[in-house]
Structure 1
Amino acid sequence: MLDFLGASQNVLFSAAIVLMLLIGIVQAIGFAPVDHGFDADLDSDLLSWLGVGRVPLLVFLVLYLACFGLAGLIGQQLSHDWLGALQPLWIAAPAAAVVALPATALAVRAVGAVIPQDHTTAIPVDDLIGRAATIQVGRATPGSPARARVVDHFGQAHHLMVEPDNPGQTFEEGEAVLLVRREGETFRAITRGDHRLPTL
C-alpha cells in the first residue's frame, strides 16, 4: 500500500489527501477560520453548478482536495488492475481533476445541507443615519461630541459620538436626537424636540 501511495505516478494524489487532512486538523484545533467567501461572480453557471457559496472556502477546498486525491488513486488502482501499469501523471492528473469537479459539486451540496448557515445582524454604520438616538454621556455642542445610543432595525444597540448639525445647538443627556449625516467617526444630528427619553 505504501509503495502504491508513494509511487511517482501517485505522489500528487497522495499529497492532495495529506494536505486535505492537514487543513482538517488545523481547522479542528481552531487555528484557521472557515468563514472565507469567494470574491467571484456567483451568477456564473460553472460556479453555481460547483456549489460555490454554499459552504465556506476552506470547506470547499478540503472537499475538492479529497475528491481529486481519491479520484486519482482510485483511477490509478483501476489502471493497475486492468492494464497492469499506472498511468503517468500528465494523463492521470488532468483526468482526476475533471472527475473531481462533479464529485466536489455533489459533496458541497451534501455538506452544505448540514452545515449551519451564518446569519449576521451586522450593518454598515451609515445605515444608522435617519434613526433616533439618545444622548447617554456628556453634553454635545458643535465641535464637542457626546456619547449616544441608537438601536438599529435588528434591535442591536450601537454607541457612537454625536454632535449637533446646527451651529449654536446643544444636546443634553437623555435628549432624543435624529442622526442626519456622518463625518468620519462622528455623527451629526438635529433635535427631535425638547422632550427627553429615559437614559438606558
Structure 2
Amino acid sequence: MFAIFLTPAYAPFAISFIVMTGIGLIEAIGLGLGHLDLDADVSADAASGGVLDWLGFGHELPILIWLTSLLGCFTLAGIAIQQGAAAMTGGPLPWGLASGGALIAGAVLNTLAANGLARVMPGFETSVISTDDFLRRRGTILEGTARRGSPARAKIIDQHGQAHFIMVEPHDDTDAIATGETALIVRRDGKLFYALPEANALLQSI
C-alpha cells in the first residue's frame, strides 16, 4: 500500500506530508518557529471579505499552524483524487494535473479547517508576538560570550511560555555576558538585541 506513495503520481503528496511532519517536529522540540515575528499582523478587519479572509487568515492563526493545515489538506485531497482516478480509470492522474486539483480542493478544505482551529484554539490569536515584546525580558546566553561587536545566542521565554532565540550584545561597551548568565534585554537594533547583565548595578533593585 505505502509503495504507491513512492511513485511519481503520488510524489507531490508524499513530499507535502514529509514537510508537514517536519514542521510538526520542529514545533514539538520547541524551536518556536511557529511564533516568528513577521513584522506585520494580518488583522481580521483588513482581511474580512477579501482573499486573506477566504484563505483562513482572518482569525490570525500563526503562519506555521496555517501552513501545516494547508499541507495536510493538500495531501489528503491529492490522495483522494488519485485513488478516485485509479478506481474509475485503472490508474492515477499525471502528478501535475492531480496537484492542480489538490491545490484547489486543499485550499477550500483549509479554509474550513483554519476557521475551525481558530474557534477551538482561540489562544493562538494572542500567541503571535512582536520582537519588541522581548524588551524588558530576561534572556539566558546559550553559547559563547556576548561582547560589543561579538553577539552571542540567547534564549527568551515569552508571556505564552514559548522559547525564542535571539542574538545579543551587551548594552555597555565594557560588559561581557558569558554562557549561562542571564541579562535584561533593554533595546534592539534590527535583529540584534542589547542587554544589561544581571551583575549590572542598575539591576540590583529589580
TM-score by length of 1: 0.56
What does residue 17 of structure 1 align with? 17
Q: 1:16 to 1:121 in 2, by over 3 A?
A: closer
Runs of 4 or more, structure 1, over 2 Å off, are 35-44, 119-122
Aligned partners of 2:58 and 2:105: how far apart in 1?
A: 21
Aligned partners of 2:116 and 2:6: how far apart in 1?
A: 31
What does residue 45 of structure 1 align with? 50
Q: Mind listing any 5+ residue stretches in structure 1 that lack a counterpart?
A: 125-199
Q: Which has the higher contact order (CA 8 A, sep 6+)?
A: 2
Q: Does 1:118 align with 2:126?
A: yes
**Which of the pair has more CA radius of gyration?**
1
In the TM superposition, 1:18-167 aligns within 5 A as 18-36=18-36, 37=38, 42-43=47-48, 45-54=50-59, 55-115=61-121, 116=123, 117-118=125-126
Q: Do 1:60 and 1:108's aligned partners in 2 also have CA atoms closer than 8 Å?
A: yes
The DSSP-based 3-state class of the residue aligned with 1:34 is: helix
CA-to-partner distance for each residue in 1:10-64, whole Å, 9 max, x for gaps?
1011110111011011101111332245666635611111221421000010000
TM-score by length of 2: 0.54
State the aligned residue count: 125
Task: Quote the RMSD (CA, aligned, Å).
Answer: 2.8
Q: Do 1:17 and 1:70's aligned partners in 2 also have CA atoms closer than 8 Å?
A: no
